[in-house]
Structure 1
């Protein structure tokens, strides 16, 4: 038998934390407004921030008390019925087959991973006739550029990168 929740619902702790944050924030804010202290602005901002943080507890309390019938949860938590027929069952089976075949082909081919072992394994499987692209980098200007910074002449070589077309 399901427990019966009255009044505040399931998340009573979150409710009382939200109320406590609201009360503390309001008290700190009102002290900052009406009491003559030199750090009144700090109290006003702190009270507003505490009231804002109480929203987190209100959201927890509200979302914890949302009730969803188990029939609507079937698709979300893996409680699928195996005897589902019709178009939705056929679409679900087709989708499952396509996604599992894609997943299996990625596992077989090494997948889109950045793992160095996978890359080395993939390059070892390439056929011997696969062309490789060579890239050459060199300094193009043999004469250094002289720039003057704060009265000091500094020789800086001008470097560029050149790549071959694929």
Structure 2
């Protein structure tokens, strides 16, 4: 038998966090409105943002307290009744047979599954222990350009 949840429900932590965020946000916002400081706009925006962030905790509290009957959950979490008949039961049986057949055919053909497949796929290459020599040389800038080649080119004016 499930314990009876009274008052705040199951997620009391989320409830109190939401109330705390609302209270702190409102205090910061009211400080920004009524206290004469040069950073009042920062306080107003910060208070509004804190109040907005409290919505996250309210959503967590609300969604954590939603009650769903087991009869409504049976399709969603795999609590299907075995004696189902009709088109839905036939489709489920067919789907189960096809997926089981495909799964078994992979096992019969010797195809490894999961971790064994990854570990046997490619043998590791032996590591090289020697050093590799890299040749490096410095390059001097090319100064063979004549002054005539470096003159500016006249461009026609761009029209708009």
- Work out whether the TM-score is over 0.5: yes
Structure with the largest fraction of strand: 1
Of 64-73 and 3-12, deviating more is 3-12
Instruction: Identify which of structures 1 and 2 has the higher relative contact order when contacts are C-alpha pairs closer than 8 Å and 6+ apart.
Output: 2
Specify every segment of 5 or more residues in structure 2 that has no aligned partner in the other structure, as ranges. Answer: 113-117, 122-160
Partner of 2:131: none
Q: CA deviation at 1:23?
A: 0.7
**Does the alignment pair 1:23 with 2:50?**
no
Distance change >3 Å, CA 47–CA 100, structure 1 → 2: farther
Unpaired segments ≥5 residues, structure 1 = 119-166
SS at match of 2:6: coil
With the length of structure 2 as denominator, give the TM-score of the two structures.
0.61
Alignment TM-score, normalising by the size of structure 1:
0.59
Q: How does 1:36-115 map to 2 (within 5 A)?
A: 36-100=36-100
Task: Tell me, in whole angstroms, the C-alpha distance in 1 between the residues paired with 2:83 and 2:22.
Answer: 51
- CA deviation map 1:8-61 (0-9, x unaligned): 111111111111100100110111111111111111111111111101100011
- Give aligned pairs, total: 123
**In the TM superposition, what whole-angstrom CA distance separates every residue of 1:55-102 from its partner, at most 9, and x where no partner exists?**
110001100111000111112222222222222211212233344556
The separation in 1 between residues aligned to 2:97 and 2:52, in whole angstroms, is 47
Q: 1:91 to 1:28 in 2, by over 3 A?
A: same
Structure index of larger Rg = 2
Alpha-carbon distance in structure 2 between the residues aligned to 1:74 and 1:27: 46
| CA displacement 1:111-147 (0-9 Å, x = unmatched) | xxxx9x97xxxxxxxxxxxxxxxxxxxxxxxxxxxxx
